[in-house]
C-alpha cells in the first residue's frame, strides 16, 4: 500500500512541476517575442560577421538591403498595437546574395563578377577596402584554390564555402541562444516556485494524507498521456495518408 501511495505522490509531483515548467516556457516565449531577442541576436551575429570593430557600416547596409527588409513582417501585439518585426531567420543563399550585392555597391565602378572565374573574383576582392570581411573572404578563396583542383568547379565551391561559413556562424548563435533560454527558464522556474511557495515537502505531505488529491492528479496525468498519445497517433496517420497519396500519384504518373 505504501509503495502504491508513494507512486501516486510521485506522479502528482511530476504533474505539478510539468505544469510549472510549461508555464515558465510560455512566459519566456512571450518575453522573447516582446523583446525581439531572437531577431536581435541574428542581427548582431551577422553584423559581427561583416563589420570590423571600428566600422559597422557593412552590417548596416546588409540589414537595410531590400531582400532582408522583405523578410520583415507586421505583427499585431496582443491586439493592442502593430509593430514591424525583424527577420528571425535568413537562409545561407539569401545571405550570400545580399553579401555580394553589398560588396558590389562598394566598388560600383568595377562590379565584382561572382559568376566569373575564381581569379577574377580574387582580383576584385583585392580591390576592396581593407577590412576583416575582406581578409575572411580572401582566406576562404585561398582555401578553395588549394582544395579544389578542377577550375570549373572552383566558383561553385567558393559559394558553398561562404554558405558554410554562414551556417557555422548561425550554429554558434543558435547554441548561444539555447543556453540563454535554458538559463532564463531555470531562473523563471525558481522565481515561479518562490512566488507561489511551491514546497516539494509540503506538497508531498499533502498528497500523502489526501487520497482525493492523489486521485485528481492521477486523472490529470492520465489525461495528459491520453492527449499526447492522440496527437502522436494523428501525426502518424497523417504521415501515412500523405505517403499513400504520393504513392498513388506516382502510380498514376507511371501509368
* 119 CB-near residues (< 8 Å, 6+ apart): none
Handedness of CA 47, 53, 56, 62 (dihedral sign): negative
**pLDDT reported for residue 97:** 94
- What single DSSP character describes residue 89? -
- Find out whether 88 and 40 touch, Cβ atoms under 8 Å: no
Percentage of residues in the chain with pLDDT exceeding 90? Answer: 24
**pLDDT reported for residue 230:** 60
Cell of 193: 516556485
Looking at per-residue pLDDT, the higher value among 243 and 112 belongs to: 112
Q: What CA–CA distance (Å, rounded) separates 115 from 204?
A: 68
**pLDDT reported for residue 239:** 57
**pLDDT reported for residue 54:** 54
Tell me the per-residue pLDDT of 163-187, one tens digit each, with 9 for 90 and over.
999 999 999 999 988 888 888 888 8
The whole-chain average pLDDT of the chain stands at: 82
- Find out whether 195 and 189 touch, Cβ atoms under 8 Å: no
Is residue 95 scored above 90 in pLDDT? yes
| Backbone torsions φ then ψ of 62, nearest 5 degrees | -65, -50
Is residue 140 scored above 90 in pLDDT? yes
Which stretches of the chain are DSSP H helices? 2-35, 37-50, 57-63, 66-69, 92-106, 118-126, 132-147, 154-195, 200-209, 211-254
- pLDDT tier at 137 (50, 70, 90 boundaries)? very high
Chain centroid to Cα 190, Å, comes to: 25
Is residue 234 scored above 60 in pLDDT? no
Is residue 158 scored above 50 in pLDDT? yes
Looking at per-residue pLDDT, the higher value among 203 and 144 belongs to: 144
Cell of 101: 550585392
**pLDDT reported for residue 154:** 92
**pLDDT reported for residue 254:** 37
Is residue 255 scored above 50 in pLDDT? no
- Find out whether 63 and 47 touch, Cβ atoms under 8 Å: yes
Tell me the per-residue pLDDT of 5-36, one tens digit each, with 9 for 90 and over.
888 888 888 888 888 888 888 888 888 877 88
Q: What CA–CA distance (Å, rounded) separates 173 from 167?
A: 10
* 193 CB-near residues (< 8 Å, 6+ apart): 20
Looking at per-residue pLDDT, the higher value among 185 and 90 belongs to: 90
- Find out whether 169 and 49 touch, Cβ atoms under 8 Å: yes
Say how many C-beta atoms besides its own lie within 10 A of residue 69's C-beta: 12
Is residue 248 scored above 50 in pLDDT? no
The residue-averaged pLDDT of 185-194 equals 84
**pLDDT reported for residue 96:** 94
Q: What CA–CA distance (Å, rounded) separates 147 from 99?
A: 23
**pLDDT reported for residue 66:** 92
Amino acid at each position: 500500500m505504501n509503495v502504491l501511495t508513494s507512486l501516486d505522490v510521485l506522479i502528482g509531483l511530476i504533474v505539478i512541476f510539468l505544469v510549472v515548467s510549461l508555464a515558465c516556457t510560455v512566459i519566456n516565449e512571450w518575453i522573447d517575442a516582446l523583446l525581439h531577442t531572437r531577431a536581435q541576436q541574428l542581427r548582431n551575429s551577422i553584423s559581427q560577421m561583416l563589420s570590423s570593430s571600428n566600422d559597422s557600416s557593412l552590417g548596416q547596409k546588409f540589414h537595410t538591403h531590400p531582400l532582408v527588409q522583405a523578410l520583415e513582417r507586421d505583427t499585431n501585439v496582443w491586439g493592442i498595437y502593430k509593430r514591424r518585426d525583424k527577420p528571425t531567420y535568413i537562409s545561407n543563399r539569401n545571405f550570400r546574395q545580399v553579401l555580394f550585392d553589398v560588396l558590389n555597391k562598394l566598388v560600383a565602378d568595377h562590379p565584382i563578377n561572382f559568376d566569373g572565374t575564381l581569379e577574377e573574383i580574387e582580383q576584385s576582392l583585392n580591390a576592396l577596402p581593407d577590412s576583416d570581411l575582406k581578409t575572411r573572404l580572401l582566406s576562404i578563396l585561398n582555401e578553395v584554390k588549394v582544395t579544389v583542383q578542377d577550375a570549373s568547379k572552383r566558383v561553385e565551391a567558393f559559394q558553398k564555402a561562404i554558405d558554410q561559413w554562414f551556417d557555422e556562424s548561425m550554429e554558434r548563435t543558435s547554441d548561444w541562444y539555447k543556453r540563454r533560454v535554458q538559463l532564463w527558464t531555470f531562473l523563471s522556474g525558481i522565481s515561479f516556485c518562490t512566488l507561489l511557495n511551491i514546497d516539494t515537502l509540503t506538497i508531498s505531505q499533502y498528497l500523502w494524507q489526501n487520497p482525493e488529491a492523489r486521485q485528481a492528479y492521477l486523472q490529470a496525468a492520465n489525461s495528459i498521456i491520453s492527449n499526447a498519445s492522440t496527437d502522436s497517433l494523428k501525426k502518424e496517420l497523417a504521415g501515412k495518408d500523405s505517403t499513400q497519396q504520393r504513392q498513388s500519384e506516382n502510380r498514376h504518373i507511371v501509368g
